[in-house]
Every structure is written in structure tokens, then in C-alpha cells.
Amino acid sequence: MDGGPGEGDAWADYQRPVPAEESVDGIADAPGQALNGNFNQLAKLKAKHPQLKVLISLGGWSWSTYFSNAARTDASRKAFVASCIDLYLKGNLPGAPGAGAGVFDGVDLDWEWPNWDGEPGNVIRPEDRENFTKLLAEFRRQLDAYGRTTRSHHPLTAFLPANPATMDAGYEGRKIFKYLDFATVQGYDFHGGWETRANQQSALRVPADSPDNPDFSVEVAVDGWIVRGAPRAKLVLGIPYYGRGWTGVTGGGNGLFQPAAGPAPATFEAGYEDYKNLKALADNGYTVHRDLRAGHAWLFDGTTLWTYDDPAVVLQKTLYIRRAGLGGAMIWSLDGDDDNATLTRTIGLGLTTW
């Protein structure tokens, strides 16, 4: 959906006739039918898997510009929430009232970040911290009211940061979980090509020889939320299906924590590459390195380093999820996995067996 100039893609969302070879059920969309595009494919997927719940995620790194405005007053919160329920849950799409009804079951808030720097240009206010809680309360109130008409529970979730300073600046820890079914915790992007030193982007624990103090890790993020009042069972850990990379790495050794000239060349974005492409590098001049205690892996060829989660790391994280009593795993994003769904199958194995 349109989020501003140059943002959103209504054609892909609900207008594009999807051909048979791309369709969930092998049947092509008919041009001009009430619902086409990705939304119709989600509807078909839910028909095949009746227990599947689909939530619309609002915001993200590049679409959080005006969240502060929407959450600022009681009137703005009421109007914003009502518009989201009307558009996504009731399915009143532009030019096609009710056509999208039933595609989405609930709402995920991905405000990056309340009262904290996100993408340059985002509106930020000190009162964002309290207003985020009030926005959740308004979503919960209206979702419950709508649920009385559908005889369904409509989930409300949120994406939460890994940085303890961001947690304190933007969130009323214990209060927000009163309204949330669960929250997904950022388990990645701890370091990346925006820095001049090759590092880990998603380690389970802070590496013993980390040059950063304090440093980020999955454990730091999860423990940070628990200390601030989050119920363990409502925390879902984010796992990356991509790696972060640097090139021009000097200093020898295994490359980790060494100076780097810049982000590594990649398919779509420098310093960012899908797992499905990184997995082949071990057969093309790269050596796989692993820190079992810290729970992370990286590839290094003497010049370029990629930090990523391979199946061994993913399995280690699923065992951590179970041991810590967390609610489950979230991934970013499904298209980064290989054709055999290796990482996804590993998550399923780790969370449902043993």
C-alpha cells in the first residue's frame, strides 16, 4: 500500500493478475476480478492452510516517518487505527470495498523507533514513549470491538529493538505487553558495512574477544526486554536469512574484528547478501569460521568477510529459544533461504523435536 511518495505498490498488493505459474493454487487470476495480486495469493494460501494467521506489518525502517504524528493525540490515534482496520481487516480497498476482507487477521506495529533515531527524516518526540503505549491500547480496543462482530480474536504484535538504550527511550517495558499477543525482537544488524571493522551481526552471545563494550547480541537483547518486564513467552526471536559483509579486510587471522575498507559487493545492496547465495562461498575460496560459545559463524577469503547464520547457528538459536522459554522464532526474510528451505526446516526441527 502507498506509504508516501515512491513508497508502496498497490499494483503488486492487490491489482496485478498473478499468472498460473506463480499462483499458490496453480490457477491464474482473471484481470479485473475484485482481488488480485499478493493479497489474493495470501487468501489462497490461507484456504490451503486454515490455521494460518496473516498480520499486516505497518512501518519498517523506511516507512516509520510519521508514526509519531499518528500516535500523538487521542483523536489521531483513533483515526489511524480505524483506517487500518477498515483498509486491511475489513478489506475496503480503493475501488473495491470489502474485496480484501479476511486476508489479514491482525496488525503488527514496526515503528522504528519511538523517541529514537531511525531513518533520517523520521519525526521523533520525547512523548513517543508514552504515546506508543497509548497507540497499542487503541489498537487493542478497536481490534477487540471488531472481533466481537467477527467472533474472532485479532492479534496485535510489535517489532522491538535490540539496543537497550532504544528500549529505555521509546518503550514503557512492562505496560506494552498488556496489549500485545507477542513481540518480535531484533536479533540481527548488530554490526554492518556502515562500520569500518568486520564484526558479527547476529551472535547469540557477545564474543569473548569483542572490541566493543558494551556490545550487542541476541542474549543482550532478550535479557534486556525480560529485565524491563517482558513475559518470556511473549518474546519471539528474530533470525536473519541474510549476512552482513565487508571487503578490504586487513590484519590477517580469520578477519573478524579487523579493519575493513567498506561493505562487500553483493547482489542487490552492498554489504547485504541472502543466505542462499552465501552458502556457496565455502566452495569458492572462503573458509567457514565458527565461535561455538558465542553462537555465530562467518566466511573469510583473506579479503572479504561475511557474517551469517548457517544451519548450525540457527539450530543453536532454536535450542536457546526453548531453554529460555521464549515464544518462538521470526525470520527476515523467507526469500533468503535456499530452494530446499534449509534454514526454515532447521527452525522447525529445533523447535518441535528433541
Pairing of strands 235-240, 182-185: parallel
Cα maximum dimension of the chain: 64
What residues are paired with 154 via a beta bridge?
Answer: none
Q: What pTM, to 2 d.p., does this model score?
A: 0.95
Nearby residues of 195 by Cβ (< 8 Å), 6 or more positions away: 260
The rounded distance, in Å, linking the Cα atoms of 193 and 64 is: 22
pLDDT digits (tens, 9 = 90+) for 238-283: 999 999 999 999 999 999 999 999 999 999 999 999 999 999 998 8
Catalytic residue ranges = 112
Q: Which residue reads 512492562 in cell numbers?
A: 174
Q: Does residue 317 sit in helix, strand or coil?
A: helix
Q: Does residue 167 sit in helix, strand or coil?
A: helix
Q: Does residue 46 sit in helix, strand or coil?
A: helix
**In this predicted structure, what is the pLDDT of residue 353?**
75
**In this predicted structure, what is the pLDDT of residue 1?**
40
Low-confidence ranges of the chain (pLDDT < 70): 1-7, 354
**In this predicted structure, what is the pLDDT of residue 32?**
83
**In this predicted structure, what is the pLDDT of residue 348?**
97
**In this predicted structure, what is the pLDDT of residue 2?**
42
**In this predicted structure, what is the pLDDT of residue 326?**
98
**In this predicted structure, what is the pLDDT of residue 146?**
98
**In this predicted structure, what is the pLDDT of residue 8?**
82
- The helix or strand, by DSSP H or E, that contains position 113, with its residue range, turns out to be none
Structural domains in the chain, sorted by start: 1-49 (no CATH), 53-180 (3.20.20.80), 227-354 (3.10.50.10)
